[in-house]
Structure 1
Amino acid sequence: MRAAASTDEQSPIKRVGALVAWVQGLRPVRVLTHLSDRDGNLLAAGMSYLSVFAVFAAIWVFFSVAGLLLKSNPQLTDSLIGTINQAVPGLIGAGGAIDPTLLLNGTTLSWTGAIALAGLLWTAIGWMASIRQAVRAIFDLTRDNRGFIVQKSMDLALALGFGVLLILASVLTMAAGTALDFVFSLVGFGGHSFVSDATARLVGFALAVALNAVVLGSMYRVLSRVRIPVRNLAVGSLLGAVALVVMSGLSGLLLGGAGKNPLLASFVVFIGLMIWFNLVCQVILLAASWIAVGMADRGISPRAPEEAQAYRQSQQREARIIVAEANIADARQALARARWPRTGAARRRLREAIEARAALDAPAHEATDSHVGAAH
């Protein structure tokens, strides 16, 4: 009877333990744990700090260069500003961080634009580098070992590519809107009917998701040089893209708290941008963590072939060091227990163990030369 009572008393504890284990085994929980274990919040904070400064210089230079074209095409201007505000809510417009009329007043790239261009190049490259290192950290990869010039050239090319992609998305959005208006006029729907408005929103949502998915996929695979299967890359990038677009739609709720704080009222726009970029960077790393956990579940390494070989060599070297240090410990114990006439052999064994351990710390070419000399 006592055994049965004890079993009944322990069963709730066992059930709670089983429930906790089940929750911890859920993929979303493992993704959050994976991100937390790699200081995801700290990495996102560093990325968002650089992104705030990069975006202002990028906007100023772009509108300085393309001011003449945009002035002559108000529809393209509105589409571009809408696309930018979808990516960064509250950046351009009345009450935003940047007044669009001031942007369109600059028709040429002046000396101030040239200074901003230099700042853009530096901050954009720095932001790209911070993304690369943060994403690689999520996948437990070491720093990128490519040359400095190669890395910076790739970072600059991708930064320019993302800018071109933003313009392309604006053009596609404008073209899609024109095409939808034409189709609805043929079938007899009004310009602001429920069907036309719903279809336009769905098309805009799909284009925004596609744009963000391409950007995220490029960040993970090209910029960060992580070896990711297409399936994992597509799923993770799409999840991150949907999260970013939904966040953009809910930006008023997400950032509304900053405007209600009287201590932040004087610079609420800047604080809002800081919060927004931090949320965006959190999503970028969270989607990367989703991909990393999925690859780990399938036993797929994120390392490139040359990185995988270097990692295996490093693991083998660490294993040899552990064995060598264990041999030294055994040899010292044997010497302490040895009695004459075995002390000489024990000292020789200890000396050989120490030399074998020291050989593991020698450069590869020295170790090769020593082996060749020993053979002769």
Structure 2
Amino acid sequence: MEIKITKTTSPKAKPADESKLGFGKIFTDHMFLMNYDEGQGWHDARIVPYGPIPMEPSSMCLHYGQADFEGLKAYRTESGRIQLFRPEQNMARMNVSNDRLCIPQIDEKFCVEAIKKLVEVDADWVPHQYGTSLYIRPFIFAIDPMLGVHPAKHLIFCIMCSPVGAYYAAGLAPVKIYVEQNYVRAVTGGTGFTKAAANYAISLKAQEEADKAGYEQVLWLDGVHRKYIEEVGAMNVFFVLDGEVITPSLDRKSILGGITRKSCLEILRHKGYKVTERDLEIDELIKAYDEGKFDEAFGTGTAAVISPIGELKYGDKIMTLNNGEIGPVSQMLYDTLTGIQWGKTEDTFGWTVPVIG
């Protein structure tokens, strides 16, 4: 499919100070759009000036939440090369979400090419400062103008981009995590393993209460037994217990299979760490903490890359980890991943995809 390009005649001013980009607040000059109509399939691929997308008030996505998304980044290296990190994994995962939400499958290779073309068109928006990047948000939503609960026959696939700094204002400083006991994010058979838009709306109430208590993120427990650790609101989660790196298994289909999570597992195993994917009870963490065997914890995700955890609160139990400082495993993973992403470290895994340079 050909991608038609219409460039803006009114380009926006680029951010003057890349140290103040924030996250997801500024958007580039262009976006990619592609339509789906039953009987015609995905068609009319185009890059157009960034702007509003007209929709009927009756559009099904607004009423029934048939929408999903992905998140990845483009990085500018010191040599001026612009590259992506494992974009094919994001598009493959998007099709997993699509299948669960009855959204038509996308051509993964074509959509990677669409991402590359959009980044190429908006290449001047990829920031230069180390630690910054161009966040890329592909998403799909149903636009059938009718009220009726059934799979959509008309949808839009959009990709938009945003130059970003660190996800957390404090950068790599350890975050405080609140273990949620009252609300449930996902259950086996649900949509927890997908990037369904509604998953994030479901998490907002718990996040609001965590904020009030002075905590940056929520750690979710499983929705049935309320004892197995699942994931943090915006990240997968890892724990180092007595030298063993443990992360919750994906087997129950209630946890998102993160691209950064997968990359961390591959790096850890490549470097010879003892790594286990399994069910992990919150009581096991408490026992390890009381015995002095809870070495460190960290979250992983595209937005923050690695987010060390300095404190966990479960009920009245407050666990301070590694003296509130980043641990050695977290630091190694952060250095390795960002080194590959920003071109400071040789990519021996073959994960980067060049766009320019």
State the TM-score, normalizing by the size of structure 2.
0.23
Higher normalized helix content (fraction of residues):
1
| Higher alpha-carbon Rg | 1
Structure 1 or 2: more strand by fraction: 2
When normalised by structure 1's length, the TM-score is 0.22
